[in-house]
Structure 1
Amino acid sequence: MSGSSTVADQHADCAEERLITKPFVVVSLSAFAFFMYIGTLVPLVPLFIEGPLKGGELALGLNAAVFALAAVFARPLLGRLADRYGRRSIIIGGALMAAAGGMLMSQIDSLGFLMALRVLTGVGEAAVFVGSATLIADLSPRERRAEGASYFSVAVFSGIGVGPVFSEWLLDDVNFERTFIAAGGFAILAAVIAIFAPARVESPEDSESTVDSGGHAAPPVRALAESGIFKIIHPAAILPGVVLAFGVGGLTTFFLFIPEYSRDNGFANSGLLFLTYALVSLVIRIFGAKLPERLGPRRSVTIALVSMAGGLAVFAAAPNVVGLWIGAFLIGLGAAFNYPSLMALTVNNASDADRASAISSFTMFFEIGSAGSGLLIGGFAQIVGKQVGFLGGVVSCLIGLWLLRTKLAPAGSDVGSNRTERKSDIQLAG
């Protein structure tokens, strides 16, 4: 009888654990406002570089790399600051720093000054993302973290999707100054909303094998985290992060090349393509938020990488209006599945005590992927042109697919299927 009671109690506890709470909504709204800022810059900065600043594809790649590398080097410190001083403080500070960078871009006239300001915005973006993503993980029940990451990413993708449409409308091809200033306004709004977010959330102690009774990561994760490079990069984040980075390489190719490429192939501007990409991702993440957990990391991330590779290949093979629509749809489909499962794998292999550091390390691979692809694929496209350059993004996605299916989640593995493991534990307890 006691075993049956235990099973019932555990099921009841799972049913009572709410995911969507007031703090969850506040953090998501702040993230939406901030990624409206990021989305506004997505087409604006490349057009500014290739227009008034007279740069080429390599300058586009350098822009992505500078932004990303600044965020990469800042993230280890940001994770520790978030653990020590709370998540809210770095969200507010990062949003204000990014706002300053965006607004100052309205006053510059050289690539050198632009790159300096991209450093400022890169550090600010890293701070906001680390603080927000960590709070969302703090607020999500353990067995619903992939679902929580999906809902949170709705805010991120809404901003990134709507921002370019707003940017292209306000820009009207010539009004760069007012558009940069408006972008900074969204970042300031994000900081104001974040004032109402919790500084930190104390989570229940983990009971999985990676966490001991004191809430600290158990061997081998703890031993790794205390040695060598793992003092900077959390070991739980490495394999999921590397796979993420190669997927981000494909997405970065889309972000960098589409603003000008769409104008050369039948579109007045890129806004509708970014909106299509974002809407596809949003619909899947809202109505299919539980899919990453049900499919498991191997299948869900495979869908992501194959879809993004397919979209980029379509851009290269069909440089026309129909090809651009199809490619944007496939990119959106891939983006919907790329992040949640990999994020959940990372978080569930870190303790409560170092969760912010693990998430900081994992999200750092966004910038690693962006920097690497910006330099390599940007340089490649400088030689062969944007149309063939899209194939560089295809290669990036295919490398990520190989790593996923041979290293992170090989055939027959049950990596990351925490819900399955919990059900087995309950059955054993019964």
Structure 2
Amino acid sequence: MSKSKLWTKDFVAVSMTSFFIFVVFYMMTVTLPLYATDILQADKGSLGLIVTVFLISAIIFRPLSGKWMITFGQKRILVIGAVLFLIGSVLYSQINSLSSLLLLRVLHGIGFGMATTATGGIVANVIPDDRRGEGMGYFATFMNLAMVIGPFMGLTLIEASGHSAVFTVAIVASVLGLLCSLVLKVPTLKMVKSSTEVKASFLASLFEFKALPIALAGFVLSFAYASIISFVSVFAKEMNFTSVASYFFVVYAVCLLLSRPFTGKWFDRYGENFVVYPAILLFTIGVFLISQASSGTTFLLAGGLIGIGFGTLTSSLQSIAIKVSPPQRRGVATATFFVLFDSGLGVGSSVLAVVSGSIGYQGMYGVCAIIGVMALVVYYALHGRYSKVTSRVALEKQIVNK
């Protein structure tokens, strides 16, 4: 069977829009706490609010964006979100107090939530159905690259030129993201409303209930992953792995990129269970290795396994959420998935901070490995055992048999 074309102008445009927005997101996430303490003289206890208010704003506006995409169109919501995101990036250099910074983070979070929800919905319609797993995998790779490039660029700029250079680069990246969104041509979907949809409640218009089971599995996994993004650098310092700590996410990204050409194609060819079950196991083993790490080598090996495992899971679970939802509600399905996924990160960061204070970081990572096993059970119970074999291999066999 001949495969449909994946690398179109529109696929590249929506992927680059996502890349530039996430570069700014990750760059500001690691540098704003330093700006708050160095320039605004904020106390350490308030630094967590810089991330929290941003995520809360994004979470609140994700389902609203999904609904608006159906009403006003996907591209319009993407452009509005990108414009708000750009405005936020421009205003950072004008901030002179912690309270004004937090207010700006609300605006930036709204733009981020709208833009990233829109890109997730749009890319699902740009990617051919027979290459969805592969396409979503490559789309996620742009976000994964931003996760490495953003923090590295931000910290390097602060060291070389100060915070003003960070704000300037954030503005440039935001402008590029907006330009990419403007050249994007979004496929027109025929919006067919059933009598059930017409009578649907306001809550049903915000959330795609068919995507909730897989989103719940994503919540459990992101809860455990919060231990990586929130505490892995502190853990490395405590264990005297500082000489290799900066390479953790580099190894993470390299292993993810090396696996990406295979995992996405396997998703399409053999079905989601063939990819998701091993990915959860690799992620769980990686987290467990961190809890047992006594050398930098083990620490970096864990980073590689987590990169393959969790990096594969983010695109695979999102693909499933889109797959089980009606085409005209793919934006809502994307919003539903990321509301729970982002909530898992936020709740996990808060809860695991308490856990680490009680039993230490090694004990906390041991708990997260157990949560990884729980995620395997949750995925099986909510989706895996019901998953129909709709892979490319199955379709090819059906055609041959006919």
> Shared topology, TM-score over 0.5?
yes
Alignment CA distance shift 1:46-1:400 (3 Å): farther
Deviations 1:39-68 (A, max 9, x none): 323433455578764425x954x5544333
Alignment CA distance shift 1:16-1:93 (3 Å): same
Letter in 2 for 1:26: A
Structure 1 distance, partners of 2:305, 2:265, is 20
Tell whether 2:49 aligns with 1:55: no
- Give the corresponding residue for 2:187: 201
Tell whether 2:18 aligns with 1:43: no
- Give the corresponding residue for 2:174: 187
- Give the corresponding residue for 2:388: 415
Structure 1 distance, partners of 2:116, 2:376, is 25
Which of these residues, 287, 306, 330, is aligned with residue 305 of structure 2? 330
Out of 384-393 and 63-72, give the one that drifted further: 384-393
Alignment CA distance shift 1:201-1:77 (3 Å): same
- Give the corresponding residue for 1:6: none
Alignment CA distance shift 1:176-1:405 (3 Å): same
Q: Report the alpha carbon displacement of residue 333 of structure 1 after superposing the two structures with TM.
A: 1.2
Identity value in percent: 21
Deviations 1:82-107 (A, max 9, x none): 22333233333323333444554556
Q: Report the alpha carbon displacement of residue 153 of structure 1 after superposing the two structures with TM.
A: 0.9
Structure 2 distance, partners of 1:388, 1:340, is 29
Q: Report the alpha carbon displacement of residue 138 of structure 1 after superposing the two structures with TM.
A: 0.6
Deviations 1:120-162 (A, max 9, x none): 3322222222111212111122222111101111211111122
TM-score computed with the length of structure 2 as normaliser: 0.86
Deviations 1:203-245 (A, max 9, x none): 5x8xxxxxxxx85689xxx679935743321012101111112
Structure 1 distance, partners of 2:66, 2:183, is 21
Structure 1 distance, partners of 2:133, 2:23, is 23
Structure 1 distance, partners of 2:361, 2:166, is 26
Deviations 1:231-285 (A, max 9, x none): 3210121011111122222322211123444445332685432222122212211
Tell whether 2:158 aligns with 1:171: yes
Q: Report the alpha carbon displacement of residue 309 of structure 1 after superposing the two structures with TM.
A: 2.6
Alignment CA distance shift 1:228-1:94 (3 Å): closer
Alignment CA distance shift 1:224-1:392 (3 Å): farther
- Give the corresponding residue for 2:144: 157
SS at 2:104's partner residue?
helix
Structure 1 distance, partners of 2:365, 2:93, is 30
Q: Which has the higher helix share?
A: 2
Q: Unmatched 5+ residue regions in structure 2?
A: none
8 A contact 1:36–1:163 mirrored in 2: yes
- Give the corresponding residue for 2:205: 231
8 A contact 1:95–1:190 mirrored in 2: yes
Structure 2 distance, partners of 1:315, 1:47, is 27
- Give the corresponding residue for 2:314: 339
Alignment CA distance shift 1:398-1:106 (3 Å): farther
Q: How does 1:389-404 map to 2 (within 5 A)?
A: 389-404=364-379
Letter in 2 for 1:409: G
- How many correspondences in the alignment? 399
- Give the corresponding residue for 1:5: none
Q: How does 1:254-293 map to 2 (within 5 A)?
A: 254-264=228-238, 265-267=240-242, 271-293=246-268
8 A contact 1:40–1:163 mirrored in 2: yes
Letter in 2 for 1:128: A
Q: Report the alpha carbon displacement of residue 406 of structure 1 after superposing the two structures with TM.
A: 2.3
Deviations 1:8-43 (A, max 9, x none): xxx5xxx26322211111111222222221232343
Tell whether 2:11 aligns with 1:24: yes
8 A contact 1:240–1:345 mirrored in 2: yes
Structure 2 distance, partners of 1:342, 1:355, is 13
Letter in 1 for 2:351: L
SS at 1:195's partner residue?
helix
- Give the corresponding residue for 2:57: 70
Alignment CA distance shift 1:194-1:153 (3 Å): same
Tell whether 2:363 aligns with 1:376: no
8 A contact 1:34–1:186 mirrored in 2: yes
Alignment CA distance shift 1:66-1:312 (3 Å): farther
SS at 1:167's partner residue?
helix
- Give the corresponding residue for 1:318: 293
Structure 2 distance, partners of 1:388, 1:190, is 41
- Give the corresponding residue for 1:352: 327
8 A contact 1:101–1:121 mirrored in 2: yes
Which of these residues, 108, 113, 130, is aligned with residue 126 of structure 1? 113
Q: Unmatched 5+ residue regions in structure 1?
A: 1-10, 206-213
Deviations 1:172-193 (A, max 9, x none): 2993443244234322221122
8 A contact 2:267–2:391 mirrored in 1: no
8 A contact 2:290–2:365 mirrored in 1: yes
Structure 1 distance, partners of 2:91, 2:83, is 12
Structure 1 distance, partners of 2:98, 2:367, is 25
- Give the corresponding residue for 1:94: 81
Letter in 2 for 1:55: K
Structure 2 distance, partners of 1:225, 1:321, is 58
Q: Report the alpha carbon displacement of residue 74 of structure 1 after superposing the two structures with TM.
A: 0.6
- Give the corresponding residue for 2:66: 79
Structure 1 distance, partners of 2:227, 2:99, is 22
8 A contact 2:4–2:131 mirrored in 1: no
Letter in 2 for 1:27: V
